[in-house]
Amino acid sequence: MDGNMLKNKVALVTGASSGIGRAVALAYAREGAKVVVSDVNPSGGAETVALVRAQQGEAVFLAANVGQPKDAQALVDHVLSTYGRLDVACNNAGIGGPSAPIADYPLDGWDHVININLSGVFYGMQRQIAAMLQTGGGSIVNMASVLGAVGFATNSAYTAAKHGVVGITQVAALEYSSKGIRVNAVGPGFISTPMVSKLEQDPTLNAMLIAAHPMGRLGRAGEVAELVVWLSSDKASFVTGAYYPVDGGYLAR
Ligand SMILES: NC(=O)c1ccc[n+]([C@@H]2O[C@H](COP(=O)([O-])OP(=O)(O)OC[C@H]3O[C@@H](n4cnc5c(N)ncnc54)[C@H](O)[C@@H]3O)[C@@H](O)[C@H]2O)c1
């Protein structure tokens, strides 16, 4: 642990068994938070907890499917019974879903992506906000994407969900800014995580993705986590309802 931006805070990260969520959990712990690592994948979650403890941080794993309202409720209830409060939440869990043009897009794929990537953020915020209201406030960071601002051919469900995440982030900020709860969204460009590793293995697609980022490379999970930590912390005390890209310049053209 080498920072104190989140000292004595209790922080929850969903989708924290892998990729960006794991990097956020590690960065939260580095800044002094007690971290609740949540995911549907317990073995990856145990690895994240072990990585946090290896850097002298504090973390526990709680299994929850963000697409199930009962799970979202039980997760926050468990955080409250363990730590008595919830100060920070990063709604990060998400999936890529099928790739197909709209006329061919599978309906079950649409429902699945919207359930996890959009409804999951809504279910999570409902319980998180209720918990934060009990202790006078908190900070929520929702994981959108550059596809929360622009489209990507063949990814209609993902793009719709991420635009929706930006929208409900703004609504939550409007509803709770006077109650001490800040709510923001971040928009990563393409980041090297297990979610995009299949795309990276296709040389043509990989070259196209790299070329889409003016910096000439994909991002790293830790680069997203640094923005999330700042938005989660009191350093961002006048920031709410905002959407911050972290995208190597993807949206600049
Ligand atoms: N990697 C990128 O290029 C990129 C870009 C923009 C946004 N994002 C977003 O960042 C977030 C994390 O993505 P990542 O790249 O780290 O992917 P990842 O696949 O490495 O990690 C996603 C994690 O979410 C978990 N998860 C999936 N469904 C879940 C559910 N129903 N309930 C709880 N956990 C669930 C998975 O088990 C996994 O551990 C996602 O919301 C994704 O859309 C990723």
Q: What is the DSSP string of 7-42?
A: TT-EEEEESTTSHHHHHHHHHHHHTT-EEEEEES-H
Please report which confidence band the pLDDT of residue 2 belongs to, taking 50, 70 and 90 as the band edges: confident
For residue 105, indicate whether it is catalytic: no
- Mean pLDDT confidence for 231-250: 98
Greatest distance between any 2 Cα atoms in the chain: 51
Is 210 inside a domain boundary? yes
Query: Ligand 1 centroid to 19 CA: how many Å?
Result: 7
pLDDT tens sequence across 185-213: 999 999 999 999 989 999 999 999 999 99
Whether residue 178 lies inside any domain: the answer is: yes
For 47, the domain range is 10-252
Please report, for residues 6, 50, 66, the alpha-carbon distance to residue 82 in angstroms, rounded to integers and kept in the order given: 18, 19, 19
16 CA distance to ligand 1 middle (Å): 8
pTM over 0.75: yes
Instruction: Report the pLDDT value the prediction gives residue 226, as an integer from 0 to 100.
Output: 98
Q: Under a CB-based contact definition with an 8 Å cutoff, are residues 194 and 18 in contact? A: yes
78 within some domain: yes
Total structural domains in the chain? 1
Residue 51 maps to a domain: yes
Q: In what order do the strands lie in the sheet with 181-188?
A: 58-63, 34-39, 10-14, 88-91, 138-143, 181-188, 243-246
User: Tens of pLDDT along 161-175?
Assistant: 999 999 999 999 999
2 in a structural domain: no
Instruction: Report percent pLDDT > 90 for the chain.
Output: 99
Cα 178 to averaged position of ligand 1 atoms, centre (Å): 31
Ligand 1 binding pocket, CB closer than 6 Å: 14-15, 17-21, 39-41, 44, 65-67, 92-95, 116, 143, 145, 188, 190-191, 193-196
Residue 233 lies in a domain: yes
- Which of the four pLDDT bands, split at 50, 70 and 90, describes residue 1? low
Q: Cα-flanking dihedrals φ and ψ of residue 228, to 5°? A: -60, -40
Pocket test for ligand 1, best of 70, 90, 95, 112 (most atoms within 8 A of CB): 95
Q: What is the CATH number of the domain that holds 221?
A: 3.40.50.720
pLDDT per position as a tens digit, 67-110: 999 999 999 999 999 999 999 999 999 999 999 999 999 999 99
Task: Provide mean pLDDT across the span 143-162.
Answer: 98
Residue 57 covered by a domain: yes
